[in-house]
C-alpha cells in the first residue's frame, strides 16, 4: 500500500523538523529542571516524556507516509472509535481527582479527550471541505451535521468533567466554522445563541468548582490560597525571572513548590522564571514561528481539505497555547489546558506531534496533482 515516492523525501518539511526539534529540546530541558529532585539522575517523569517524544517522532514518520487524503477516509472511523472510548471512560473508569479522564493501558494512561480534539479537526475539515456551498457561505442547516458531530464528544467530555478540553472542542468548531465562511445572518443568529448558551451554561451546567475558578479569577483576593494563589504564584514565577532569569535549574518558585503543577499546566512559568524575558522570547518566537509555518502550510496546501485540515491543526495547537499562556500570565482563570509540546503529559504530546506530522504530510504533498472528481 505504501509506495514510497522519492520526491516525498525531496519535499520533506525540513523547516518544521528543525523548529520542532528546537521546541522539543527546550521543552525537555525545562521538564528536566522542573522535575529534578536532587541527585545525579533526572526524574522518571523526564524519561517518560523523553520516550513519548521519541515515540511521537516515530509516529510522525509513519504519518507522513500516508497521503492525508487517505487518512480522511479513516476520520469517521476514528471518530466512532473515540466516541466509544469517551463513553467507556465516562461509565467504566474509576474517578481520579474528581474526574474520569484516563484509561489505564498498562504502560500509560490514555486520556481519550486529547486525541478527540485531533479527530474533531479531521472530521470537521472533511465535513467542510466536501460541503460545497459556493461563495455565499454556510447556512444554519449546513451546520447541523458538523454541529452534531462536535456536540457528541463535547458533551461526553463535559460530563467527565473536563471543562478545559470541552471548551477546546468548542473553540476548534467555532474557528473552523468561521474559516469555512458563514453567511452574515447565520453568524448573527449563532452569536446570539452562543451568548444565551453561555448564560445558561454558567447558571446550570457548570460544576461548582468550575464556577469558583472563574469567580476567583475575577476576584482573586476572595480565594487567596487556592486558585487565586496558583495564579499569583505563577505571576510571581514569571515576573521574578526578569530580563535573563534566575538561571537554569535555579528557579525558586518551582523548586520550592510555590508554583503548583509546575511540570504540567504551569510548566512554562518555570521556563520564564529560570531563563527570563530573553529565554521566554526565544522560545515563544520559535513556537509562533512553528504555528505560522503551519499556517503557511495551509496557505500552500494542494486542495481544500488540505487547507481546512492544516488550518484546524494550527488552531488546535494555537488556542491551547494561547489559553495556557494567558493563564500563566494571569489573563485567564485556571483552566486545565496544557501548553502543547511543553507541558508534561503523554496523550497531549502524542496528539500534538500527530498534528504536526499531519501538517508535514500536507506540506510534503503540496505539489501532487489534485484529481478532479
Partner 1 sequence: MKNLRKQNRKRPRPSENIDCRRDAGKKTKITHYDEGELDCFRRRALYSSVVLIVFFAIIITRLWYLQIQHGEEYRLLAKNNRVRNLQITAPRGNILDRKGRDIVTNRPSFNVVWVREDNKVDDELIKKMARLLDIDISELLTRMRKMAGTPGHIPIRLADDIEWSKVAYIENNRMNLPGIKIEVLPRRVYHYGNLASHVIGYLGEISRKELDKADPEIYQGGDQVGKMGLERLREADLRGEKGQHYMEVNARGFEQRNLKGFEPMPGNDIQLTIDVDLQRAAEEMMMEADNSGAVVAIEVNSGRLLTLTSSPVLELDKFIGGISYKNWNAMLANPHHPLINKVVQGQYPPASTYKIVTALAGLAEGVIQPETMIYCPGFYKFGNRTYRCWKHSGHGAVDLQRALSESCDVYFYQVGQRLGVDRLAGYARRVGLGKKTGVEMEHEKKGLIPTADWKKQRYNKVWQEGETLSVAIGQGFDLVTPLQLALMTATVANGGTLYKPSLIETVRNPDGKIIEQFTPTVLDRLKGQDKNLQLVKSALIEAVNGKHGTGRRARLKNITVAGKTGTAQVVRLKQYKHLKEEDIPYKYRDHAWFTCFAPAEKPEIAVSVIVEHGLHGGSTAAPIAKAVLEQYFGDRLDDPEELTTVVLPGRLLITEN
Binding range to partner 1, per CB under 8 A, among 41-49, 188-196, 304-312, 346-354: 304-312
Residues 339-368 within binding reach of partner 1 (CB under 8 A)? 367-368
Closer by beta carbon to partner 1, 41 or else 242:
242
Query: From CA 355, how far away is CA 122, in angstroms rounded?
Result: 10
Choice from 166, 167, 238, 364 touching partner 1 (CB under 8 A): 238
226 lies in the site for partner 1, by CB under 8 A: no
Rounded Cα gap, residues 159 and 89, in angstroms: 10
Site string for partner 1, 77-116 (x = CB under 8 A): ----------------------------------------
> Cβ closer to partner 1: 49 or 320?
320
- Distance, CA of 299 to CA of 63 (rounded, Å): 21
Residue 239 binds to partner 1 (criterion: CB under 8 A): yes
Q: Which residues pair with 161 in a beta bridge?
A: none
Binding window for partner 1 (CB under 8 A); candidates: 91-99, 139-147, 211-219, 254-262: 254-262
Which of 10, 141, 203, 369: binder of partner 1 (CB under 8 A)?
A: 369
Give the nearest distance from C-beta 178 to partner 1 in angstroms.
9
Give the nearer residue to partner 1 in terms of CB position, either 108 or 296: 296
Q: In whole angstroms, how close is the CB of 298 to partner 1 at the nearest point?
A: 4
CB 243 within 8 A of CB 278: yes
Out of 129, 140, 159, 187, the only residue in the binding site for partner 1 (CB under 8 A) is: 129
Question: How many CA atoms lie within 13 Å of 110's alpha carbon, on the beta-carbon side?
Answer: 12
Among 23, 298, 353, 356, interactor with partner 1 by CB under 8 A: 298
Q: In this chain, which of 47, 70, 84, 193 binds partner 1, going by CB under 8 A?
A: 70
Classify each residue of 88-111 as buried b or exposed e, where b means 16 or more C-beta atoms within 10 Å of its C-beta. Answer: ebbeebeeeeebbbbbeeeebebb
Bridge partners, residue 182, by sequence: 138
Sequential DSSP letters for 85-124: HHHHHHHHS--BTTB---EE-SSSEE-THHHHHHHHHHHH
Q: Which of 73, 141, 203, 219 binds partner 1 (CB under 8 A)?
A: 73
**Grid coordinates belonging to 223:** 480565594
Measured CA to CA, the distance from residue 302 to residue 285 in angstroms comes to 27
In this structure, what are the phi and psi dihedrals at residue 99, rounded to the nearest 5 degrees? Answer: -130, 160
Residue 260 contacts residue 276 (beta carbons within 8 Å):
no
Choose between 34 and 160: whose C-beta lies nearer to partner 1.
Answer: 34
Question: Is residue 170 within 8 Å of 154, Cβ to Cβ?
Answer: yes
Q: Contact residues for partner 1 (CB under 8 A)?
A: 3, 5, 7, 67, 69-70, 72-73, 129-130, 132, 135, 179, 181, 233, 235-243, 252-253, 256-258, 272-273, 276-277, 280-281, 284, 288, 291-292, 295-296, 298-300, 302-308, 310-311, 314-315, 318, 322, 325-326, 329-331, 367-373
Amino acid at each position: 500500500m505504501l509506495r514510497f515516492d522519492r520526491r516525498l523525501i525531496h519535499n520533506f518539511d525540513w523547516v518544521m523538523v528543525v523548529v520542532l526539534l528546537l521546541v522539543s529540546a527546550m521543552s525537555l530541558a525545562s521538564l528536566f529542571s522542573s522535575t529534578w529532585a536532587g541527585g545525579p539522575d533526572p526524574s522518571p517523569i523526564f524519561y517518560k516524556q523523553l520516550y513519548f517524544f521519541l515515540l511521537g517522532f516515530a509516529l510522525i514518520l509513519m504519518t507522513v507516509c500516508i497521503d492525508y487524503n487517505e487518512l480522511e477516509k479513516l476520520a469517521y472511523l476514528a471518530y466512532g472509535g473515540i466516541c466509544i472510548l469517551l463513553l467507556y471512560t465516562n461509565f467504566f473508569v474509576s474517578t481520579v481527582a474528581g474526574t474520569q479522564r484516563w484509561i489505564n493501558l498498562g504502560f500509560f494512561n490514555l486520556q481519550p479527550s486529547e486525541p478527540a480534539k485531533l479527530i474533531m479537526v479531521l472530521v470537521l475539515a472533511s465535513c467542510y471541505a466536501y460541503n460545497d456551498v459556493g461563495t455565499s457561505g454556510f447556512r444554519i442547516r449546513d451546520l447541523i451535521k458538523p454541529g452534531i458531530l462536535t456536540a457528541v464528544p463535547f458533551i461526553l467530555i463535559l460530563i467527565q468533567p473536563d471543562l478545559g478540553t470541552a471548551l477546546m472542542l468548542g473553540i476548534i468548531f467555532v474557528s473552523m466554522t468561521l474559516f469555512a465562511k458563514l453567511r452574515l445572518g447565520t453568524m448573527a443568529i449563532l452569536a446570539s445563541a452562543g451568548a444565551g448558551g453561555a448564560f445558561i451554561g454558567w447558571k446550570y451546567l457548570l460544576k461548582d468548582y468550575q464556577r469558583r475558578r472563574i469567580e476567583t479569577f475575577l476576584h482573586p483576593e476572595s480565594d487567596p490560597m487556592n486558585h487565586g494563589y496558583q495564579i499569583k504564584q505563577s505571576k510571581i514565577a514569571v515576573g521574578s525571572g526578569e530580563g535573563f532569569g534566575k538561571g537554569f535549574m535555579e528557579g525558586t518558585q518551582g523548586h520550592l513548590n510555590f508554583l503548583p503543577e509546575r511540570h504540567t499546566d504551569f510548566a512554562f512559568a518555570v521556563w520564564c522564571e529560570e531563563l527570563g524575558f530573553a529565554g521566554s522570547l526565544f522560545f515563544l518566537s520559535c513556537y509562533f514561528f512553528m504555528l505560522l509555518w503551519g499556517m503557511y502550510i495551509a496557505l500552500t496546501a494542494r486542495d481544500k481539505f488540505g487547507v481546512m485540515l492544516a488550518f484546524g491543526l494550527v488552531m488546535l495547537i494555537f488556542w491551547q497555547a494561547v489559553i495556557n499562556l494567558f493563564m500563566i500570565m494571569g489573563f485567564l482563570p485556571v483552566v486545565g489546558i496544557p501548553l502543547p509540546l511543553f507541558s508534561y503529559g503523554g496523550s497531549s504530546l502524542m496528539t500534538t506531534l500527530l498534528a504536526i506530522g499531519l501538517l508535514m504530510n500536507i506540506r510534503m504533498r503540496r505539489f501532487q496533482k489534485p484529481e478532479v472528481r
